[in-house]
Structure 1
Amino acid sequence: MDEKPEIQSDVCFLVGQERQEVFAHRCLLACRCNFFQRLLGPKLGSGMPSPVVLSTVPAEAFLAVLEFLYTNSVRLHRHSVLEVLTAAIEYGLEELRELCLEFVVKVLDVELVCEALQVAVTFGLGPLQERCIAFIEAHSQEALRTRGFLELSAPALLSLLRSDKLRVDEAELVLAARSWARVGAAVLERPVAEVAAPVVRELRLALLAPAELSALEEQNQREPLIPVEQIVDAWKCHALRRGDAARGAPCRRRRGTLPREHHCFLDLPFK
């Protein structure tokens, strides 16, 4: 492996959006990794064949993969480990995948956790997803302010909103969900309410005080986010004030829910 041409190298990769040249050895890659065996195939003729374009993997992550294939070890870094993990999964490198997972858990912090959660949800990494959710439950307000939170997919955000252990009040969660939906709407060029539809059902509007619910209803008329019937259901909890009419997740307090007068009519607080 070398970032500069060598006589011994017989394959060239153009890696990442910048198409960085990376030279390597076909035989070694094919022996160590089935992905490269299929990708490269048998060498035909002499000389250097046409470069292989790998535009979706960042150069730094690809170099880490090659380092692992050549040395059976790897130097991981906090800022790129999730990209290396993604490459390891896509290339079927189980040992490198495990090394990356161990490293992510060691360096997990507020800035990294939402990005790690997204990778975990995307690739079905259950233990990592549980670790990330537990970390966000303990540092909810800080995590909700990160760019990684705004870039979560709907399934990843759903996994958070279903938690009773978030240390954040519902009013803040509503604001965070609106910010998330606005970003998604801008990227996808779709209405905010359409982007928000898969996740807003997990917002527990009945936890809001009547004045907060009225303000939310007015804002919802200016910028639709939450289905009208969901707001109506929240008002029903306030109007009926009966335990049997205020049960289930929409009325269940989270760990960070601030106390309000009407909460005495809802489900027992989280313990």
Structure 2
Amino acid sequence: MENSGLVVHGQSAPFSTALRSLVNNPWHSDICFVVGQERQEVFAHRCLLACRCNFFQRLLGPGVPSPVVLSTVPAEAFLAVLEFLYTNSVKLHRHSVLEVLTAAVEYGLEELGELCLEFVVKVLDVELVCEALQVAVSFGLGALQERCITFIEAHSQEVLRTRGFLELSATALLPVLRSDKLCVDETELIQAARSWARVGAAVLDQPVAEVAAPVVRELRLALLAPAELSALEEQNRREPFIPVWTPVTELRSILPRGDEEQGPGTSVSVVTRFPLQVEQIVEAWKCHALQRGDAARSAPCRRRRGTLPRDHHRFLDFRFK
């Protein structure tokens, strides 16, 4: 009978330490990366990267010259990726973990990504949560997105004052504005959304109302008292934020029937086009005038967790869920 072999293990710590010493070590390295905007040189070993990661196996195929430029990944995050590939462990830091997570997703390193997600949840705070939400939305990380939204719901006022909130994309901001559990009054949320749109307008060189258009429909103007709604309307005249839709008149020439080959005819039709989107401010006033929440079904009027009570709220049909 043939004897079966027995796998025995030596000490893992010295092995890990030895491999860690090879991270960014030019000794016997056969590939150099130029990473980040600082164009930092990082040394590595092709065979180790290729056997540990399919991304690098494809990237470092035969004939690929050195150095390889990876300008979108910061040097610190790339070194963390290498540390994980060499040692199957990594030291994470709060200030760079989202960059490591982004690299892990892009390079298909699921285990590293899970380690990063666990770390993010542990260190999540007011300053980090919006940046984490943006990463979650960008890469479809549903569990992280839910965790970030829950955190924002509990710390709404503090989060709205952060730089990270102002830098959110419209796609990432939408799930925040759709939440019924935000602990903030609508007036503060409107002001925060206006500040967000101003920053976006400056960055994109576009009008504030154009930048705000994808998200303003989630603002619940019907929650405002008449005096607050009037003030918002006046401010919106001075600085357009909530789009005001007006009829558009279009002039169109008409070809006489049967004379298409002779060129355009001289008759002109006037076509007036009314946009389908209803002005939010008008809908909010309708809610006040009719004293029924169902009069403004096209404009959300559910009270949020942090909505301050106003006299007309007793007419709203939609209850907090």
- Please state which band the TM-score falls in when normalised by the shorter chain: over 0.9
SS at match of 2:128: helix
What is the deviation of 1:263? 0.6
- Picking from 186, 196, 199, the partner of 2:212 is 196
What is the deviation of 1:248? 7.1
- Picking from 103, 107, 110, the partner of 2:123 is 107
- Picking from 224, 234, 255, the partner of 2:284 is 234
Measured in 1, the distance between the counterparts of 2:289 and 2:37 equals: 57
Match of 1:35 in 2: 55
What is the deviation of 1:242? 2.3
Measured in 2, the distance between the counterparts of 1:244 and 1:92 equals: 48
Q: Does 1:23 align with 2:73?
A: no
Matched-pair contact (CA < 8 Å) for 1:143–1:149: yes
Letter of the 1:169 counterpart:
D
- Picking from 23, 26, 31, the partner of 1:11 is 31
What is the deviation of 1:246? 4.4
Q: Does 1:223 align with 2:244?
A: no
Match of 1:255 in 2: 305
Measured in 2, the distance between the counterparts of 1:242 and 1:51 equals: 68
Matched-pair contact (CA < 8 Å) for 2:167–2:196: yes
Match of 1:62 in 2: 78
Letter of the 2:165 counterpart:
F
Matched-pair contact (CA < 8 Å) for 2:80–2:100: yes
What is the deviation of 1:2? 3.9
* Equivalent runs, 1:162-201 vs 2, <5 Å: 162-201=178-217
What is the deviation of 1:38? 1.1
SS at match of 2:235: helix
TM-score, normalised to structure 1, is 0.95
Measured in 2, the distance between the counterparts of 1:247 and 1:217 equals: 20
Q: Does 1:118 align with 2:134?
A: yes
Unaligned runs of 5+ in 2: 1-21, 245-278
SS at match of 2:282: helix
Matched-pair contact (CA < 8 Å) for 1:253–1:267: no
Moved more, 192-201 or 49-58: 49-58
Unaligned runs of 5+ in 1: none
What is the deviation of 1:155? 1.1
Q: Deviations over 1:74-133 (max 9, x none)?
A: 111110000000000000001001000111111111111111001000011111100000
Match of 1:89 in 2: 105
Matched-pair contact (CA < 8 Å) for 1:118–1:156: yes
SS at match of 1:12: strand
Letter of the 2:170 counterpart:
A
Match of 1:149 in 2: 165
Matched-pair contact (CA < 8 Å) for 1:137–1:167: yes
Letter of the 2:91 counterpart:
R
Question: Would the alpha carbon gap of residues 111 and 243 (structure 1) be closer, same or farther in structure 2, given more than 3 Å must change?
Answer: closer
Letter of the 1:251 counterpart:
C
Question: Higher Cα Rg: structure 1 or 2?
Answer: 2
Matched-pair contact (CA < 8 Å) for 1:248–1:267: no
Measured in 2, the distance between the counterparts of 1:242 and 1:234 equals: 11
Measured in 2, the distance between the counterparts of 1:164 and 1:57 equals: 37
SS at match of 1:199: helix
Letter of the 2:305 counterpart:
R
What percentage of residue pairs aligned between the two structures are identical? 87
Number of residue-to-residue matches in the alignment: 266
Matched-pair contact (CA < 8 Å) for 2:77–2:100: yes
Measured in 2, the distance between the counterparts of 1:217 and 1:110 equals: 32
Q: Deviations over 1:230-262 (max 9, x none)?
A: 111111111111243245761110000000111
Root-mean-square deviation (Å): 1.4
Measured in 1, the distance between the counterparts of 2:23 and 2:313 equals: 64
Letter of the 1:197 counterpart:
A
